Amino acid sequence: MSNTLGHNLLQQSLLRSPVLEPQRKLTLFRAACGNQSSLHTRNSPLSRKFRGNNLNLRKSKLAMGTRCPVTLIPRAVLTTGPSSEQLAGKFNLEGNIELQVGFSTPGPGAATQVDVQVTYSSDSLLLHWGLIRDRKEKWVLPSRRPDGTKVYKNKALRTPFVKSGSNSFLKIEIGDPEIQAIEFLIFDEAQNKWFKDNGQNFHVEICKEDKLIPDVSVPEDLVQIQSYLRWERKGKQMYTPEQEKVEYEAARTELMDEIARGASIQDLRAKLMKNDSSVVREPSISETKRVPDDLVQIQAFIRWEKAGKPNYSPNEQLREFEEARKELQIELEKGASLDEIRKKITKGEIQTKVTKQLHQKKYFSAEKRQRKKRDLIQLITKYAAESVEEHDSIKPKALTVVEEFAKMKEEQDGGHVLNKKIYKLADKKLLVLVTKTEGKTKVHLATDFKDPVTLHWALSKQRAGEWLEPPPTALPTGSISLNKAIETQLTNNSSANPPYEVQSLDIEIEDDSFTGMPFVLVSGGNWIKNNGSDFFIEFSVKSKPVQKDSGDGKGTAKALLDKIVDMESEAQKSFMHRFNIAADLIDQAKNVGELGLAGILVWMRFMATRQLIWNKNYNVKPREISRAQDRLTDLLQNVYTSHPQYRELLRMIMSTVGRGGEGDVGQRIRDEILVVQRNNDCKGGMMEEWHQKLHNNTSPDDVVICQALIDHIESDFDVGVYWKSLNENGITKERLLSYDRGIHSEPNFRRDQKDSLLRDLRNYMRTLKAVHSGADLESAISNCMGYKAEGQGFMVGVKINPISGLPSGFPELLQFVLEHVEDKNVEALLEGLLEARQELRPLLFKSKDRLKDLLFLDIALDSTVRTAIERGYEELSNAPPEKIMYFIALVLENLALSSDNNEDLIYCLKGWNHALSMCKSRDDHWALHAKSVLDRTRLALANKAEWYLQVLQPSAEYLGSQLGVDQWAVDIFTEEIIRAGSAASLSSLVNRLDPVLRKTANLGSWQVISPVEVVGYVVVVDELLAVQNKSYEQPTILVAKSVKGEEEIPDGAVAVLTPDMPDVLSHVSVRARNGKVCFATCFDPNILADLQAKKGKLLRLKATSADIIYSELKEGELAEASSTNLKDGSTPSLTLVRKKFSGRYAISSEEFTSDMVGAKSRNIANLKGKVPSWLGIPTSVALPFGVFEKVLSDKSNQAVAEKLKILKKKLGEGEVSALREIRETVLQLAAPSQLVQELKTKMQSSGMPWPGDEGEQRWEQAWIAIKKVWASKWNERAYFSTRKVKLDHDYLCMAVLVQEIINADYAFVIHTTNPSSGDSSEIYAEVVKGLGETLVGAYPGRALSFICKKNDLNSPRVLGYPSKPIGLFIRRSIIFRSDSNGEDLEGYAGAGLYDSVPMDEEDKVVLDYSSDKLMIDGNFRHSILSSIARAGSAIEELYGSPQDIEGVVRDGKVYVVQTRPQM
């Protein structure tokens, strides 16, 4: 809500006589009066309104005389008068999506018709709704329902909308006159997307006219007070003028409801004045002299200006206006007239003490914190976490005999496992396994008891614990029927393989109406129960479906997790037990490495999210819990210091554990609840029950309970608010009852206890958070800054010293954060939070006794950034792109500060800063540049998510299955970890900015790589790689979430559409164009979602160079529509000529012929001496065709040849796995001495360095690289490609082109005819930093792309800037390039299928484009791109046909390393 509302409510109602003075309307809440003609206006001096830090001046018309009658229709209320036809409400759902609710009543007694319309078109849009009667919370489900309505879980109705153009609508008839309101949400089922009213249900009231009292009106001052109270209750939001008007009328309606129930105006006034503690005393009726409000307002403004234009809180606003009134009242009482006072105000002659008084009272805070300029490079951390083999101290455990039996039964049944539990009974175990097979429920019991065991059992239908006698068909042989129960003896069961010996029993139940089985065991005359209660096994566990096979723990520290599972029953006793067990395991987890600490994190998070039992039959003192916490966090602090590579995981573990503390930190929880009870005389009921729980086992739930009580009291003791606060934080009524000391009662306080209770509970909350909420911002700041005893009975004797060595000004910075932590405009808060984290960062790398306090503070600051940015989304609704980019930079900085390996994130951050400066300077390319940084940021987020998934999810799945955690909690474990950090907020901001950038840069929703018109059936796949070898029988449009760039396109696929961003010149892009397959990247998630929703549908795609248009076809239209596009499956086979060994192991470029080498070698040799002198051509030699076969036939390689023969036979028989074995076998070849000598001679005579000159090891490296090139003939992609075109794989021969590597600054690929548009007058090229492998290989991200007209080679136009995070660089070296005879075949793109291998391994470098001349120096970029374009034009002119050219740039000089005809 704007500050205007707070000021105006004060001016108009709280500071004037409530009865005698005519009502003035100075508020933005302007009621639309029904009788406007009755209003009289007069001019007044300037009316001034505060809005933030500005003052709006305007001429004000002060309405006087007649008040608005109460026949006003608020926007969110339906009035059902005869023949009425009204708009009830209009809401903005998201972006341009609007919701409109209207109603009409045909006549007296007729049903009210509600019309709901949404400017959103979807086949899956539903209204999730119910009706409200008698103000009860539970929805009423009427019998009169629109067509297609379904009942959802007996709690709500779901009605589908009807599509009409771009809108959706539906009509609902309400015939019940007792219905007071309709509540609803809107749900897009296909998108799994909910539309809500600011996070709440939409609520539209249906007011009956006969309940209104038309002759009674509510005084405007009361309406204004009620509006103010509503504003406070809703968290003092910033409202638009339109929202203020709606709020004002809603306040009026609430007061009219009170009048309709019999309240008088005096009653309302008394109630409102009592409820608003901020209302100041108004002058009595007897006071005859009074200063007009407009003068008070002007004087208040003058005071505000003198005070430095601060942001006042509502209470401070009230105080300021009262002070201004007092100052003017003094002048009035001295005898000055109003005109004289007005002149004095204008001249500034009214005495005021505002400057001195207000500054003393600390009413002000700085608008923004000035951030220090920092070198972002200094923030880079490059810790590479690793996992080691688990030590012998944690050997994997063997399965127990009961677990072996369970495994055997699961495999034997082969059915769905409904439930599985293994109970620990002293040193023995009891298995209960429930499966569903062939319509029968089977219960298998087994135990390793040595003494005979009898099962005393029954069945249940309605509830757990119900004992019903089973049907005769369910009784195992030898069963004895008792009163409503059965006794059955378990029998001995043994096996040699796997070895086990147990007592077991199988029960089969055919009747599906039974829901569970209660039982106890009898052995040796003793009754064996489950912790004093009957055992009960459910037949269908709704929230915890059990995985049939929990996996082998691959990708986890399995032995450590098994130990955790063994200790869980002990850990369930109390938090003290759990934290001490975790502390005992920390050293072992650290020694295992990354996966060990990941296991601890998963376990602790399952605990924190209430998936594990917190307390079971064990009473423990709070101080013992806090001591155990303290021990655990001390150990985590030590590992944080000694093993920096695990800091990110350690931070996450600490965020799940409270700070704890030695001494009386925990004991205060027990002592101070007694203070609360004693001070407020509340020793029975709910407070006593909570007291008992706190004494026996305090937990993080107590923080939630305390907050719920505070919310309850602040809401004027509304018990609904108490339950809402609990439920929103995961505590249900059932959970309260489940505590060892259950909480059964609701709070029941007296009104006179309100102020004292709030004071004491807030003090007590500080104690609770000190133990349980390490990441609570206020507690974390207090622990670092220090505090001492405050409040009577609270924190008695407590003194925490401030941490020494904190940066100068740091306490003031933290104070700024606390003062602004609830600001709705969050930019200044975010800056303050990040400045605090930056100041704190150097201290986190030093070993300190109280390092953990600093860590908890940093974790709290990190968490507050996330909550602030989520609160600030509204601030960005209509924000310009530079503001969104700035917010992205802030959140990205926060993520980088919390990440171990953050180099890529830091360079993204530098990229955003550069994009911001380009935007502010109005650079024409700012949007294109920002789009490339956005794409890179998305890749960084995807890598982050992949790391979480790889490190955490396997442990979550294994541990979750072993501990019986809810399956949904296991499935979303990694997702929730990501949501808990900044990555999710960053992703949301990026998605918000993307369409803005695409529109600004004229990028559209598609990048069309291969524009082909096709018809096919939609198939949705996760990744193209998974289906590249598949053959589709009907024309198929693949919608693939992931396309990396090196995949093959499967047979039968006529189109590939993806959100991924492969380079236009990547292998898969070339394949698509060659195969006339439509291939495009879709940037719009809504379009992509629509395509995915059309799975199985027949579509026609019409592609241009910039767009894809699709439409649905009927089945019969397939043949005629696709006759020119569908493959007939009769691809002609291609013929290869087998190449023979020429007698030479190595040849120079002058000897390259078609019999000796492939087109790649011949083309590069052909360029020598024919291209302009400024264009460099590398020196080349080659190992010609037949050398591989000659080496294989050498006597020294006879064993290798025999093995290859066997493997080739296996391959011919369809064993594709033989490909990998063949490649490994080729690497075993030995080099004949003649080959070594000839290659050495040719390389040296050509001026190339000979690897052997640097030692025998360097030659071995070169020889391995040559063999890898030969072995690539048998890589999967190449093998399947030759099979598709029926190419005889045995006839494919491989020459090896040998070149010296040019250590490139940049690498490029040119297509001299634009491949996307087919425009032969236009060159298209892509450029990457470093070696070209990142361009032609499957490296994520996009290259710099540009086009250039051949008639104007000096005017390249950039289409997109690079987003590839990785560049490859290498020392001076040799590269061995594949050059097969398959590359000469017309119609077959053999190039790119086989490997080129450098002798030395490339260095992967994370790229910083913000310092790259190609990105930041326009003149340099123009020069390099023009040179590349000229090279392409010269080579095309030489060959006379379009060319596909690869080259590099070194020190500004362009080199061409290969060229071939453009396919």
**1005, 1011, 1016, 1018: CA torsion to nearest 10:** -30
DSSP string, 142-153: -S---TT-EEET
Q: What does the radius of gyration of the chain's CA atoms come to, in whole angstroms? A: 39
Q: What are the backbone angles phi and psi of residue 1452, rounded to the nearest 5°?
A: 85, -10
Under 8 Å between Cβ of 1350 and 1433: yes
Beta bridge partners of 1183: 1296
State the sign of the Cα–Cα–Cα–Cα dihedral 501, 503, 509, 513.
negative
Helix axes 647-655, 622-642, angle to 10 degrees: 170
Under 8 Å between Cβ of 1329 and 1353: no
* Residue burial 1359-1392, b: 16+ Cβ < 10 Å; e: rest: bbbbbbbbbbebeebbbbbbbbbbbbbeebbbbb
Beta bridge partners of 428: 425
Question: Helix %, strand %, coil % for the chain, to 5?
Answer: 45, 20, 35
Residue type for 501, please? E
DSSP letter at 139 equals P
Report the C-alpha gap between 994 and 987 in whole angstroms. 11
Exactly one of 577, 820, 914, 1067 is catalytic; which is it?
1067
Look at strands 491-496 and 1357-1360 and give their pairing: unpaired
Where would I find the beta strands (DSSP E) of 314-439? 416-425, 428-437
Residue type for 1390, please? G
State the sign of the Cα–Cα–Cα–Cα dihedral 1203, 1207, 1210, 1215.
positive
Look at strands 1366-1369 and 1403-1406 and give their pairing: antiparallel
H runs (alpha helix) in 643-684: 647-655, 667-680
Distances (CA, A) of 958 to 556, 950, 962, 1152, 1294: 8, 13, 6, 59, 47
Q: Which residue do the tokens 């998305």 mark?
A: 938
Report the C-alpha gap between 244 and 1283 in whole angstroms. 71
Distances (CA, A) of 806 to 813, 839, 850, 1260: 11, 9, 12, 57
Report the C-alpha gap between 1001 and 1004 in whole angstroms. 8
Q: Is 1067 a catalytic residue?
A: yes
Distances (CA, A) of 653 to 637, 639, 666, 982: 11, 12, 21, 17
| 844 token code pair | 């986190």
Helix axes 701-714, 685-697, angle to 10 degrees: 160
* Residue burial 538-561, b: 16+ Cβ < 10 Å; e: rest: bbebeebebeeeeeebebbbbbbb
H runs (alpha helix) in 528-621: 558-571, 575-592, 594-608
CA-based end-to-end distance of the chain = 63
| 922 token code pair | 């109005």
Under 8 Å between Cβ of 1335 and 1063: yes
| 1018 token code pair | 């939609």
H runs (alpha helix) in 1213-1255: 1218-1226, 1233-1245
Catalytic residue numbers, as ranges: 1067
